[in-house]
Structure 1
Amino acid sequence: MTVLADLHRPGIATHFARVLVQRAVPLGVPEADLLGAVRLNRVLLEEGRVRISPAQLGALMRLVWRELDDELMGFGAGRHRFGTFALMARQMVDSSTLGEALRYSVRFYNLTSPALRWELSEGGVCELALRLTEPERDPDHLLEEFLLLMWHRFCNWLVGERMPLRRTGFAFEPPAHRPEYRLMFPGPVYFSQEVSSIQVDGAWLKAPVIRSRRDLRRFLQRLPDEWFVKQIFADSVSARVLRALADASASLSLEQLADQWHVSSRTLHRQLKREGHSFRRLREQFRRERAESLLLEGNGPIGEVAQSLAMTEPAFSRAFKQWTGMSPLAYRRARGR
């Protein structure tokens, strides 16, 4: 899965982890625990060129949720006790359509939360708008960004399809990390708006909710990591490609896979493009995740890691530095601290 990132550098900017740490420490969470969760030291956390994985950011956010007992991570007026989202989501999966689910969620949060004011506008264009009652508590806008990202991704999961964003707006000036938005919020993004919001085609409100409470239990176990990846649904061509790479070899090519599936490579390329992916990026993501796992869990030579990914050691070292901002050896040492 291609992660939320600058399109030319896979991974997530350390900006988001830095903001979380800066907020959580004054609220009583030990800095050593936070850095341990994200597997970074203070120097690497402050290094702008370093990029982290969805699992690293997810582990950090889970720790903050639990330690503060607050799903708003200290950025809102009052707390959302840990488990609030799960309570609301259980009712949403019982809805028959996405529109019914969204109407329930807006009522739920507007009744229970002193921090958030949601508004759902229906019609040819559906807009979900968010206002923070005390925006000064979120000076870096991480909460606004995260909530809009979360709701778009959760709605996609409910209906089992990626809903194209017609427009995303934010009620603040363009931030320094705005290049990250290209995959967070694909489509036109506007700043200095009256309200922060996302818009999709209104026809999506009639889409059936296809998930069950059993599906939701499994989904909740993967949060918040699930919010930080470009979504690939189980029955998609992209998911089949990732499974093929895992079952075969990282050296598998587009042409070889197309031949196995008895389609032309052009057809396979076109199917992936329709889902917003490419074979090259899926293979790159598979290699990165596999490399990180091998480096963290084992002590074998870097050359063996490269060989397992069907790469030469120099090519692997160059690629890994592009993915994370660190050499494979520096990555292993930093995460071992």
Structure 2
Amino acid sequence: MTTLADLHRPGIATHFARVLVSRATRLGVPEAQLLQAVRLNRELLEEGRVRISPVQLGALMRMVWRELDDELMGFGAGAHRFGTFALMARQMVDSATLGEALRYSVRFYNLTSPALRWQLRESGPCELALSLTEPAADPDHLLEEFMLLIWHRFCNWLIGERIPLQRTAFRFAAPAHRAEYRLMFPGPVQYGQAVSSIQVDGAWLRAPVIRSRRDLRRYLQRLPDEWFVKQIFADSVSARVLRALADASADLSLEELSGQWHLSSRTLHRQLKREGSSFRRLREQYRRDRAEALLLEGNGPIGEVAQSLAMTEPAFSRAFKLWTGMSPLAYRRARRR
């Protein structure tokens, strides 16, 4: 079971990758091909303490989509051919408001999908509910989890704001990996409900859709990775902090940055907290993402990777083991195998 300590490490539990690999293998996709996509071997995939990156899970999910020609990844009653989401999203992005976009998406999938039944309740709190026509095809509930996650994240992107979840409900009992929901569905989560759903303030239905078809083309190119990262919108304080960290190769403190921006460190900390973030977490996120790229792409000494992140080698090795459960050298070897 995922522990709260695990959640302080960036990344995603290997649980989701294990379920995807198991299902795709049963449907005829070679396991070696799948593991190569996620850049893990079987031993690391089974290791509960290892956390993978959004890029790894995204690469695996993309491969399963294409090999099965099914965006439901074999977990539904019938397939959604590759490109179904893009077709629907092109119409949603032309909507004037979020409510109009959601009403279209519900009609689209209820007319075209043999696997999913969506219901949108607009009176009082807005509730988007999902039922599977064959729930037995999704025994680990991965499809239900991903569909609710995707719809919340895509709606956030459409209006350029993070919509707070008032409640997330699941029809099944609390799973062993339920601690991951603190990252996936921040807010109250209930189990054993009549239907799986997400609930938000109904006022969000009136929010204008601000994205264009050109924006959507770029968004679709980043899928599904985009669904598994913490959403940071371009005009947010968090996005500005990440850009500043990249410019300084992470050699920057909260006090230094707040001084550059002519703010007090307390004010900057407060602004980040309102976005559900912190300077420390953003710096860790930048360092881990950059470290993974350097370890995978290059053959240089670990000390050079540490130096490029403004860290000593011992400090970097300790931090990287906390993030991934492995030393940098072991991680490089495992990923390349």
1:99, CA displacement in angstroms?
0.2
SS at match of 2:7: coil
Residue 165 of structure 1 deviates from its aligned partner by 0.1
Give the Å deviation of 1:249. 2.7
Q: Which amino acid aligns with 1:275?
A: E
Output aligned runs, 1:1-337, within 5 Å: 6-337=6-337
- Aligned residues between the structures: 333
Shift of 1:38: 0.2
- Distance (Å, rounded) in 2 between the aligned partners of 1:104 and 1:249: 44
Using the alignment, how far apart are the partners of 2:267 and 2:183 within structure 1? 25
Q: Is contact 2:6-2:49 (8 Å) kept?
A: no
Percent identical residues: 87
Instruction: Give 1:7 deviation, angstroms.
Output: 2.8
Query: Which 4+ stretches in 1 moved above 3 angstroms?
Result: none
| Paired letter, 2:180 | E
* Deviations, residues 187-211 of structure 1 (Å, cap 9, x unaligned): 0001111000000000000000000
CA deviations on 1:13-46 (whole Å, 9 max, x unpaired) are 1000000000001111111110000000011111
Please state whether the residue corresponding to 1:130 is helix, strand or coil: strand
Q: How far off is 1:124 after superposition?
A: 2.6
Structure-1 separation of matches of 2:231 and 2:6: 16
Cα distance in structure 2, aligned partners of 1:6 and 1:198: 25
Amino acid at match of 1:201: D
Paired residue secondary structure (1:90): helix
Deviation at 1:325, TM superposition (A): 1.1
* Contact preservation (8 Å) 2:98, 2:207: yes
Supply the AA of the counterpart residue of 1:129: A
- Which one-letter code corresponds to 1:145 in the other structure? E
Quote the RMSD (CA, aligned, Å): 0.9
Contact persistence 2:295–2:328 (CA under 8 A): yes
TM-score by length of 1: 0.98
Once the two structures are TM-superposed, the CA of residue 177 in structure 1 deviates from its matched residue by: 0.4
> What secondary structure is seen at the aligned counterpart in 1 of 2:330?
helix
CA distance in 1, matches of 2:125, 2:26: 42
Question: How far apart are 1:160 and its partner, in Å?
Answer: 0.2
Superposed CA offset, 1:152-190 (max 9, x none): 000000000000000000000110000100010000001
2:314 partner SS: helix
Contact 1:158–1:209 (8 Å) recurs in 2: yes
CA distance in 1, matches of 2:325, 2:248: 28
* Structure 1: runs of 5+ lacking an equivalent: none
What TM-score, normalized to structure 2? Answer: 0.98
CA shift at 1:123, angstroms? Answer: 2.1
Checking the alignment, whether the CA contact within 8 Å between 1:6 and 1:180 is kept in structure 2 is: no
**Letter of the aligned partner of 2:140 in structure 1?**
D
Paired with 1:245 and 1:200, the residues of 2 have a C-alpha distance of 33
**1:87-139: CA deviation from partner (whole Å, max 9, x where unpaired):** 00000000000000000000000000000000000023000000000000000
Determine helix, strand or coil for the equivalent of 1:25. helix
Structure 2, unaligned stretches of length 5 or more?
Answer: none
1:6 is displaced (CA, Å) by 4.6
SS at 1:10's partner residue? coil
Paired AA for residue 277 in structure 1:
S
8 A contact 1:17–1:45 mirrored in 2: yes
1:89 match: secondary structure = helix
For residues 235-272 of structure 1, the C-alpha deviation after alignment (integer angstroms, 9 at most, x for no partner) is 11100000001111312001101111111111111111
Equivalent pair of 1:6/1:182 in contact (CA under 8 Å): no
